[in-house]
Each structure stands twice: as structure tokens, then as C-alpha cells.
Structure 1
Amino acid sequence: MKIHDLSIENSILNTFISEIRDHKIQQDRMRFRRNIERIGEILAYEMSKTLTFEQNNVTTPLGMSAMQLPTNQIVLCSILRAGVPLHNGLLHFFDTAENAFISAYRHHKHNPESFEIIVEYLACPDLENKTLILADPMLATGQSMVATFEALKPFGTPKDIHLISVIGAEEGVNYVSKHFDSNTHLWIATIDKDLNDKGYIVPGIGDAGDLAFGKKLQQ
């Protein structure tokens, strides 16, 4: 798997990452969601450099302009609910993309420190020979990303696959590396070293879904 860690070079991305980490700033849900969107826009821009382009002639009021434009048929799949702001940011750049959504969540059976990934709701177009983007803001253990891909397999074989995350843990990055082939690209804003005993990224940001939309009702 090809890993593109954008934190290797300093850029304005650092500002948005610092704000979603800051426990005071992140209490503003609107600002948190917008920062996730902006990170998604930056990741989309960097990813776009690897797409396939061909020349098109564009008619202006004063003549013709030859432009290199992308030809990929993109399907953008996000994991609900935390993935919605990231999905929106990516969609700002890939505005003609088809869209897929999947509900994948951690189910704790008996031990709060162990869980399995449950996939329920799924809506997806045909994936055959298309460019699939799997977006999940937090790449913690990596199990959600892999479970999502397994659930999408009946919809066809993509031509290429791009994974997009805001923050990952080294363990999660290593896990998905073992489950996706060498031609898969991972685009990530930054990678943290550790997971805690509940599978959350440290230092991370906390629960991205709760920060974006409020705490879930506990059942």
C-alpha cells in the first residue's frame, strides 16, 4: 500500500489539525465539522494529482483553451456518521462523484476493551472498473475500513482504491496495509503513535462522531 502522510511537510493543514485536536476549540461543533471538511478538501486535492487526465478543448468567450481534465469515474464511500463532514469536503472537489454510504460501528459484547465491527445500512452504486474512495476520519484499529471494503465487494471490482483519513494510529495503518493490495493509496493528514486500551487514537481528538454531531444515546 502506498502511504501519503501529509504531515511530513508543513502546510496550512497543520492549523486545521491543531484546531480539531484542541479540546476547547473542538467544542464548537460547527467549527469542528468545517475543519474536517477543509482537511478533506486538502486530501482531495493531493489525491487528484494521481488521477488519469486527458486533453479537452474548452470554449471561452474569446477562443479555445486546451485543458487536461480528469477522466476517472469516482465513487465516494463514507462510514456513517463520523464520515459525513469528511465526505462533504471531498465532494466539494469531486462534485460529479457517485456516492455510497455505510453504517459500521463497534459492538462491545461483554468486555468494553474488545469489540467487533457491525455493518448494517449500505447504499452503493456499481463499482466495476471505477475509482473507489473509502473515507473514514479516524483510522484507529483499521477494522472499520476493512469491514467496509468487504461489504462493498458484491458491487464490483474497482479499477483503483484510495483510502482517506484525517488521523490514524500506526497500528491501524499497519492493519489496512495487510488487507489492501500494494496498488492501494492511503491519504492521511497525520499519524499518531498509540491506541489506548479501548481502541482510541492517542493523542488523537476523541470521538469524531460525537464532536461533530453530539453524543450518541447509550443503550
Structure 2
Amino acid sequence: MHIHNLSEENSILNTFLSEMRDTETQKDSMRFRRNIERIGEILGYELSKVLNYKTSTIKTPLGNANMMTLDDNIVLCSILRAGVPLHNGLLNYFDDAQNAFISAYRHHKHDPESFEIIVEYLACPNLENKTLILADPMLATGQSMVATFEALKPFGKVRNLHLVSVIGAQAGVDYIKNHFREDTHLWIAAIDDNLNDKGYIVPGLGDAGDLAFGEKLQN
């Protein structure tokens, strides 16, 4: 797997990420969502550098210009609900992409410290021979990313696969390395060292879905 950890270099991305982690700034849910979106734009820009391009002749008011334009059939798939602002950021750059959405959540049976990933809602176009960008802001254990991709397999075999996250845990990165093919790319804003006993990233930033859209009701 090709891992692109953008926080290893200084850029404005680290400012957006710092605001997302800060407990005071987190009180502004609109800013939290916007920072996810902006990080999605940055990750999308970096990702675009390894996609396929073709030469196109563009007619201008004064003549013709030969330009390199995107030549990938892209599908953006986000894991609900925290993935929505990240999806918007990517869509700002890949505005001709098709879109897919999937719900994946942790289901705790008896032990609150153990869980399984449940996939329920899924809307997806044909994926055969396309470039799939699978986005989930938090890459904690990596199980959601793997379960989501397994659920997408009946829609066709993708040509290229890109995974996009805001923050991941090293354990989650190691997990997906063992479950995705070697030519997969991971684009991520930061990788933290630890997971706690409940499978949350430390230091992380908390529950991205709750911070973006408010606390959810518990069953």
C-alpha cells in the first residue's frame, strides 16, 4: 500500500487539523465541518497528482490551447454520517465524479469494549473498471473501511482504489495494509500512535460525527 501522510510536511492543512482537535474550537460545529471539507480539498488535490490525464485541445477567445485534463472515471464513496463534509471537499475538486454512500456503524453486542461493523444503507453506481475514492474521516481500527469495501464488491471490480481519511491510528493503518491490494493508495492528514480500549484514536479528536452533526440518540 502507498501511504501519503500529509502532516509529515508543514502546510496550512496542519492549522485546520489543529482546530479540529482543539476542544474549544470544536464547540463551533460549522467550523468543524468546514475544516473537514477543506482537508478533503487538500487531500483531493494531492490525490489528483497520481491520476490519469489526457491531452485536450481547448478553444479560447484567441486560439487553441493544449491542456492535460483528467482521464479517470471516478466514483466517490463516503461512509455516513461523518463522511459527508469530507465527501463535499472531494467533490469540490472532482465535480464530474459519480457518487456512492454507505452507512457503517459499530454494534456492541454484550461487551462495550468489543464490537462488529454493521453495514445497512448502500447506494452505489456500477464500479467496474472505475477509480474508487473511499472516504472516512476517522481510520481507527480499520474495520469500517474494510467492511465497506467488501459491501461494494458486488458493484464491480475497480481499476484503481484510493482511501481518504483525516486522522488514523497506526493500528488501523496496519490493519488495512493487510486487507487491501498492494497498489491501493491511502491519503491521510495525520496518523496517531494509539487506540484506547474502546477502539478510539488517541489523541485523535473525539467522535467526528457528533462534532459535525450533534450527538446521536443511543439505542
Tell me the TM-score normalized by structure 2: 0.99
CA distance in 2, matches of 1:82, 1:198: 18
CA distance in 2, matches of 1:76, 1:49: 17
Query: 2:78 matched to which residue of 1?
Result: 78
Structure 2 residue runs without a partner (length 5+): none
Query: 1:162 matched to which residue of 2?
Result: 162
Code of the aligned partner of 1:7: S
Distance apart, 1:218 and its partner CA: 1.1
CA distance in 1, matches of 2:199, 2:148: 18
Could you say what secondary structure the match of 2:178 adopts? helix
Could you say what secondary structure the match of 1:100 adopts? strand
Query: 1:197 matched to which residue of 2?
Result: 197
CA distance in 1, matches of 2:8, 2:217: 38
Aligned residue runs from structure 1 range 1-219, under 5 A:
1-219=1-219
- Equivalenced residue count is 219
Could you say what secondary structure the match of 1:174 adopts? helix
Code of the aligned partner of 2:55: Q
CA distance in 2, matches of 1:113, 1:99: 33
Could you say what secondary structure the match of 1:176 adopts? helix
CA distance in 1, matches of 2:28, 2:60: 43
CA distance in 1, matches of 2:22, 2:63: 50
CA distance in 1, matches of 2:99, 2:163: 15
Could you say what secondary structure the match of 2:50 adopts? coil
CA distance in 2, matches of 1:35, 1:147: 26
Could you say what secondary structure the match of 2:146 adopts? helix
Distance apart, 1:26 and its partner CA: 1.0
Cα deviation digits, residues 124-160 of structure 1 (max 9, x gap): 0000000000000000000000000000000000000
Could you say what secondary structure the match of 1:179 adopts? coil
Could you say what secondary structure the match of 2:133 adopts? strand
Cα deviation digits, residues 188-217 of structure 1 (max 9, x gap): 000000001110000000000000000001
Could you say what secondary structure the match of 1:45 adopts? helix
Structure 1: which 4+ aligned runs deviate by more than 4 Å? Answer: none
